[in-house]
Amino acid sequence: MQRDSGAPVWEFFAGGGLARLGLEPDFTCIFANDIDPAKASAYRQAFPPGAEMYEGDIWKLSPHQLPGQAALAWASFPCQDLSLAGARRGLAAPRSGAFWGFHRLIEKLSDEGRAPEVLALENVTGLLSSHGGADCAALIHALDDLGYRVGALEIDAALFTPQSRPRLFVVAARQAPAHLTSAGPSAPFHSQAIRNVVARLPDGLRKRFVWWRLDAPPKRNTDLIDLLDDHSEHWNSDEQTAKLVSQMSALQRARLEALQESGRRAVGAVFRRIRVEHGERVQRAEARFDGLAGCLRTPAGGSSRQLLLFVEGQEIRSRLLSPREAARLMGVPEHYPLPTGQTAALHLVGDAVCVPVVRWLSQHLLAPLAGAAKARLSA
Q: Tell me, what's the pLDDT at 110?
A: 96
Residue 338 CA from chain centroid, whole number: 18
Cβ(322)–Cβ(350) below 8 Å: no
With H, G, I as helix, E, B as strand and everything else as coil, classify residue 126: helix
How far is Cα 155 from Cα 159, in angstroms, rounded to an integer? 8
The DSSP element (H or E) to which 252 belongs, if any, is: helix 250-262
Residue 281's CB is within 10 A of a number of other CB atoms, namely 8
Cβ(1)–Cβ(368) below 8 Å: yes
Phi, psi torsion values for 228, nearest 5 degrees: -95, 150
- Taking only the tens place, the pLDDT of each residue in 221-270 is 999 999 999 888 899 999 999 999 999 999 999 999 999 999 999 999 99
pTM of the model: 0.91
As a whole number, the mean pLDDT across the chain is 90
Cis peptide before 339 (omega within 30 of 0): no
- Taking only the tens place, the pLDDT of each residue in 131-186 is 899 889 999 999 999 999 999 999 999 999 999 999 999 999 999 999 999 999 99
Instruction: Give whole-number Cα distances, 95 to 53, 100, 240, 305, 316, in Å.
Output: 20, 10, 37, 23, 41
How far is Cα 184 from Cα 171, in angstroms, rounded to an integer? 16
Residue range 7-220+353-378, CATH number: 3.40.50.150
Cβ(252)–Cβ(286) below 8 Å: yes
Q: Tell me, what's the pLDDT at 92?
A: 54
- When mean pLDDT is compared across 39-53, 76-90, 141-155, 273-287, the lowest value belongs to 76-90
| pLDDT at position 376 over 80 | no
- Taking only the tens place, the pLDDT of each residue in 110-142 is 999 999 999 999 999 999 998 899 889 999 999
**289-316: burial string, b at 16+ Cβ within 10 Å, e else:** bebbbbbbbbeebebebbbbbbbeeeeb
Please, which residues bridge with residue 266 across strands?
A: 311
Phi, psi torsion values for 280, nearest 5 degrees: -120, 145
| pLDDT at position 89 over 50 | no
Q: Where in the chain is the domain with CATH 3.40.50.150?
A: 7-220+353-378
